[in-house]
Structure formats: C-alpha cells, structure tokens
A and B are shown apart, each in its own frame.
Chain A
Amino acid sequence: MSSTETKNETATEEIAAEIKGKLIPIYIMGHKYEVPETLTIMKAMEYAGYKFIRGCGCRDGKCGACSTVYRKPGDYHIYNALACQTQVEPEMYLTQIPFYPANRAIYNYEELTPVPEEIFKLYPELFRCVACNACTKICPKDIPVMDVVSYLKQGNITKAAELSFDCIQCGLCASRCMGELPQYHIFQLARRIYGGKIAPKAKHLAEAVIVIKDGKYDEMLHELMNTDEKELRKIYEERELEPEITGEDWRPKDRKFLLEVES
C-alpha cells in the first residue's frame, strides 16, 4: 500500500521529528536551538530534546500547566503564550513558568455567606491593586483580569464570576502583579460563592434526588436489569426520542418508564 498509510499509522506526536519543513532558531532559556517553524512551543521543546515533567498537562489549552513568557529581538514587550497552543517564531527567546508561588486562603465553604466582605476578609490584598493592568496584558485566555479585580472591590461577585469563567489558573497574572495578588485563587472563590450561594438553586433537581433516593424507581430498574437482551433491544429501539428543537415544556407521549411527580 501507499507509503502514506504507514505515516498515519505512526501518527503520534513523535512525527513532529520527521517534519522536513524549514528550521528556525529559537532560544529556550537563552540556549539556541534550530526547530521546525511549524511546531508549537511545546513540541519544539520536545524536538530540541526536552522531556517534560512539569510544564505540560492537557496539551490542549485547557489546564494551564504550560504557561510561557517570551520576548522578540528589538522589542521591549513581554509576550505570553500557552506552550501547547502557540506556534514558534524565529528568534523568540522564551521560558516556561511552570510554577509560581501564590497565597491561597483556606476557608470553610459551607459557612461562607454571599457577601463581598467575606472575600475582603480572606484576601485583603485585593485592595493593593494599583490598576497597572499587567495582569490583563499577560493573560493567555484574554480575561480582563484587572476589571474582575475592580468588580470584586465594588462588591460585584456575580460579574466577577462571569468574567473570570474561562480562567485556566495558569498563574501568569500572579507572576506579574505589583500588588502581589493571587488573582486566580480569588476568582475561584468568587465563582464558588456565585455558583453555590447566589445563583438560584434547581428545584427540579432537589425533588429528583429525594424521589430517586427514596427508591421509587428501583422496581422499574430491577425489571430492566432482569430483562433479556432481545426484549431489551426492542424496548430500546421503540423508546420515544425527544426532538432536538423543543422547549422545556415538551412531554413524551409514552410514559412507560415515568412516574407522576410534581413539577
């Protein structure tokens, strides 16, 4: 068969090494390496011979393990990157910041009340923010970090929770902060207060938990557990499907496996 077949069959990331493309120089913590121009910073470092223990997690932009800072020649700016998501550039000189110490307050979540004072008490450094905006500039997820801090200072937990939702807790903000804030920990606290103590609770969920814990569905389930495969297939194939585009008020015609419950 074609040679491309074997290619797909070794389609691991190891293949990065086989890339024939143009090599460009990059500087990893000051040391120059020639790497294929198409690689991400993460794969370029592996190509160069690094084997990650730290600085690598999901490899898909979701965990914040691989935060990286770099500069370009003749440019005073400092740039941010997630090593797993960002392509190398010629002459970039970079370092990963796989860990940055940040103070995290310990609290009893159950006893917290949904008022901003709770956050002020746990993180008084919130008021040390000098509004330099370095945190927002370094954020690889484009969160308006400084605005979130401002909302919290104003006591708007809801807004802070919403605006910080995409945070992957990489810690770059804390590394740049003049006021020495651990922003990502503070935002986590805000989101938990919002999610559990400000957002309205789901009543249908609480009801479902009680009815199911009560064993109301056990008999029905045990019957299914003891149904033979042939019959089970039939029941499966005949089950009524909820149409994709329906509102919350849709009700099935076939109520075979439903119980009458309040809602």
Chain B
Amino acid sequence: MAYTEELKNLIKVVEKTRPERVETKRMGGGFPPMSLEERADILKYHPDFKEEGRREIKIGPSKGYRIPNEMVDLLEARSRVDPDAIDLSQIDYETDVLIIGGGGAGTAAALLAQEHGAKVIIANKLRHGDSNTIMAEGGIQAASKLEKDSPAYHYLDTIGGGHFKNDPELLFTLVTEAPDVIQWLEDLGTMLYKFPDGRLETLPLAGFCRKRGHTAGDTTGMEIMRTIRDEARNRPDDITVLEFSPAVELILNEQGHCAGVVLYNMETEEYFIAKAKAVIMATGGCGRLHIQGFMTTNHYGATADGLVLCYRVGVGLRFLHTVQYHPTGIIFPEQIEGALVTEKFRGAGANVVNIDGEQFVYEREPRDVESSAIIRECMERGKGVPTPIGRLGVWLDSPMIDILLGEGTVKRQFPGKVNQFERYGIDISKEPMLIYPTLHYQNGGLEYKFSGETSVPGLFVAGEVGGGVHGENRLFGNSLLDVLVFGRIAGTNAATYAQEKAKEGKLTLEHVKAYHKQLEEAGIVTDRVAPMLLPDYTDPKVRERQLTAHYVGTLR
C-alpha cells in the first residue's frame, strides 16, 4: 500500500529540509556523534535498561537473575503435559543422538554426529530449515586472509563488541574454528561470492577492523541452510528428520543423565517418547516473544523453547539481560513490519529524521545507541511519525543517497529493498522509509562449555540458544559462524559421548514434578504452560468465539 495522503504530506516536510541536510553532508558536517557520556545517558531509553521490563526469576538454577518479563513468564510456567500421564516405558523412537531444532546449528550437528558414527534424529518444530538461519542476509565472519588479518583481530573485535564480557574459551574456539567452517561450506558446494581466481570476497561489516564478512549475496543464510540441509537429506539411513514435532520436555534417567525427549506432533496432537544416548539443544532464538511489545525480524518458531526445557533440568542462563534490537526495522507498510533495513543505507548517507524533518541523531551510532535515540524521539519527545494504524516511527531519508552519490545508486546498491517496497507502490529512491527498532537477536542463553557440554551429562547446546560467546552484544556475521562452529562441535562430541560415556538407566520425568513443586513453593500460582511453541496472532474477537481452544501454543 502506497503512502497515505497524511504520510505524503509529512514527506513534504522531509523534502523541505532535505536540500540543506544534503548540503551539510557534502561539506562533511551534520548531526554530531555522541560523546561517551551522552551515549551512556541515552541508553536509559534502550529496552534493556527499562527496569519494569525485567524481573527476577524466582526459582531454578539462575534464581535471582533479572531478565525480560516475557522470558520469566515462560520459565515460571508449568509443563504442557502432566508428567504422570506419560508412559515412559513406551518408547516410540530410539537413537544415539537426538537433535532438537533443525536450523543451522542442528543441521551442522547432525552431519558431524553422523560422520562420527551416530544414528541421528532431528526433531524440528516447523519444516527442516524454517529457522532464523535461512533468514540471515549479510554474511559470515572468519579471518581467512592472514596477510592482513588473524584470529587475534577477530577475537579483539568480537570482545570489544560484546562489552568485554565474552567467555574467552568460547571465543577462542569461535575464531580458531572459523576458517575451517568456511572451507567446510566451500567443500559442500556452498556458492560463496568469489573473485574469478577463487579468492573469497569479504565485506566490511560493522564493528570489525578488517573486511572479514564472507557472503553469498544478501541471502547468505539461505544458501548455507539449503546446502547443509541437502547434504543431510543424502544420508537418510542415518539421519531421520521429524517435522512439526517439537520437543516439549527433556527426559533424564536415574543417573541424572539426559536420555531423551517428549515430542509433540502438532498436527495429530499426540505425544511421543524418543529415547537417546545424547541430546543436543539447538532451538535458536526468542524474537517471537515480542519482548516489550517489539516487532521482530525472527522466524515464526523463535519462541525460546530450548531455554525452558534446559532450565527445568538445571542448566543455568547467562547474558539474557541483553537483547539485540536492530535500529532500522520497517514499521510501514505494516505487511512487512519488523523486516530489516540494512545499516548500509545509513552508511551511504541517509539521515534519520523526525516528523519535523529534523535530524536528531548521528546516523552511524552503534546499534543500541541509535535504537535508543529513535525510541526517545518517538516516545518522549513526541516527534514520531504516526502510521495509519497509530504506531510511531521515524524517517530514514533514503532519497539523499541518489542526490549524494548519483541517480540510480539506491537501485543499484539495494535491489532487494527497492523491490520489496515497490510492491507496495513506494519508491525508496524518491520517498523515505518509515522505520523503528525491531527485536533481532538473543545475545545470551544457556550456559555451555566450548565442548558443547552443559552441566547435565548427555545434554549439549549449540547456536543462538546458548550464551557466552557474544558477551552482551553480538556482532554482525558472528552468529552464522557461531551456529556452525558449535553445531559441528556439539555433533562430534555428542556422538563420541553416545558411544563411550552414555549409561543406560530407567527414564524419568521426576525433574518436571520437582519443578512444579518449586513453582508452588515460590508461591507462583499460574495456568501458564511452556514451551510456547508458536505465537498466537488470532484476532481477539475470533478468539472469543473459539470456545474450546485454550490458546497456549497449540494446546487444546
């Protein structure tokens, strides 16, 4: 849908101030960057710093840790099933390594576990590959050009980005395994962008001191995901994929080792028992929790299920007090809300301006600072631009780019975005975009070691669901790398564990009962159940008429 008359009138205000802003930019001037004090000050508008947005978890291994309410709601919730109603003697599936989640981390784990002799089951909530991995655009980091780069610079960049809080052991593993991962992708036939002589193209991505971002155009994640998924499909004798079958509970055995999962077939609404010698948690992120009401870039199944399941068996949490918001998410047209507008627009010269056509922030502040300034402009200063459904955003003045760098630059450099807006009758080389911060990435997660192990024997973690390697803030291109590095490690080590260390024992869900008891003892009386599995976007009026549906995930 093209801009409404109201918005078109507001665009005229932006056009009025544009020539002067362009002139300033040409002279190398513009809105000044913030000082470190100003930055610290404006961060109080960042959602992470909103105290009423967080609360302490009352029970469990990280009791007392303050994290977003939406996460605590899920942790302080009951199991979807009555543990006593489940017959653990009835085994429906049996395997060496069971992987929960078939995104990048889970699929990489499956391939390596298989190569180390394991029979593997991947249980996925949606189709194999429907994940955050397939959505990644920009690139994947690795120091592959040692004449100007090294794992040490990669280490430095990443730890600086993470506020110097990153787990050094995890980070060491990340940067030293990185080139190997790229070579693995190359050997599997991933179409990475190369020069004619085979040299890899590498892009400068935000926060890095070297051009280290390997890409497959602006669909890097898709190219990686479909390649490794294709390879998994070549090994059907050893790798079984169960789709639309999320894990809803971990099963332990009497030794306290992880020994399987309860699966839920969302279509037939049956529960199944899968027994395994080792389990890898690879369920990805949490964007669909819409923390503090934010829209998100994440896929439909990003509901933090893995955090809930592992927390119940005693795995602790870290760095979940920080969540990454991307400053420029589309807020209009509403059809494509939440979707990313890359930082490269601001890099190319587009100002961020308010309803009066005025600049209020330097456009190249770090992500958290930029986001905070936009939120303040809309929420406190009343200078946001209202959308037809009553939300607020600010303008990203993309037409400046063509004026500054020559007619046609926007179309040439951003064909994907031009196309996406064109469908709604908006020409972003002539009209600005309306944007607002969007929930992008779960910086923290479950505690795990560089071997992929957790505090529970037989339970491994890989990918966005884990926390530590990115510290308090993940840098662009480090996450695709994370999921492949730690997916491969978890797969390898889980296979070895299954062969050498796993112990037989009676299966139990006593931990679930104990968790329920802890809830009661902490005075938490609730009918919430978790994991959530899928978000609910039904019209409330329709919901009122759906008299027999519970609307907690897909539970009826």
Contacts and interface: CB of A to CB of B under 8 A. Distances in A.
B537 A192 contact: no
A203 interface: yes
A205 B388 contact: no
A106 B204 CA distance: 38
A172 to B, nearest CB: 15
Contacts of B227: 191-192, 195
B176 A217 contact: yes
A11 interface: yes
B209 interface: yes
A42 to B, nearest CB: 9
Interface in A40-84: 40, 43, 46-49, 51-54, 56-63, 65
B233 to A, nearest CB: 6
Interface stretch (B60-68, B183-191, B304-312, B426-434): B183-191
B148 A217 contact: no
Contacts, number: 305
Given A202-B194, A224-B152, A87 B176 contact: no
A225 B179 contact: no
Contacts of B293: 8-12
Interface in A6-62: 7-21, 38-40, 43, 46-49, 51-54, 56-62
B295 interface: yes
A183 interface: no
Nearest to A198: B189
Prevailing SS type, chain B contact patch = loop
A253 B168 CA distance: 27
Interface string B329-356: 0010111111100000001000000000
Interface residues of A, number: 104
A92 interface: no
Given A106-B236, A188-B226, A199-B198, A13 B189 contact: no
A130 interface: no
A204 B542 contact: no
Interface stretch (A131-139, A143-151, A174-182, A237-245): A237-245
Contacts of B397: none
A65 B130 contact: yes
Interface residues of B, number: 111
Contact of A46 (B297, B384, B537): B537
Contacts of A241: 209
A54 B295 contact: no
A197 B189 contact: yes
B134 A58 contact: yes
Contact of A205 (B182, B221, B384): B182
Nearest to B126: A57
A222 B336 CA distance: 45
B204 to A, nearest CB: 5
A194 B252 CA distance: 45
Contacts of B159: 224, 232, 236
A53 B148 contact: no
Contacts of B546: 49
Interface stretch (B20-28, B139-147, B479-487): B139-147
B249 to A, nearest CB: 19
B175 interface: yes
Interface string A223-236: 01100010011011
Nearest to A38: B1
Contacts of B244: 53-54
Nearest to A245: B204
B424 interface: yes
B148 A8 contact: no
Nearest to A49: B542
Contacts of B256: none
A192 to B, nearest CB: 3
A21 B333 CA distance: 13
A168 B391 CA distance: 32
Contact of A59 (B204, B300, B390, B436): B300
Contacts of A217: 150-152, 176
Contacts of B172: 221-222, 225
Given A59-B299, A192-B230, A195-B227, A201 B189 contact: no
A104 interface: yes
Contact of A48 (B1, B182, B236, B542): B542
Contacts of A197: 189
14 contacts: A12-B290, A60-B297, A62-B135, A62-B221, A63-B129, A85-B423, A106-B233, A109-B189, A192-B189, A203-B199, A205-B179, A208-B144, A222-B172, A257-B150
Interface of B: 1, 126-127, 129-130, 134-135, 143-153, 155-157, 159-160, 164, 168-169, 171-172, 175-176, 179-180, 182-183, 186-192, 194-200, 204, 209-211, 217, 219, 221-223, 226-227, 230-231, 233-234, 236, 244, 266-267, 290, 292-295, 297, 299-301, 331, 333-339, 347, 378-379, 382, 384, 386, 388-392, 420, 423-424, 436, 534-542, 545-546, 554
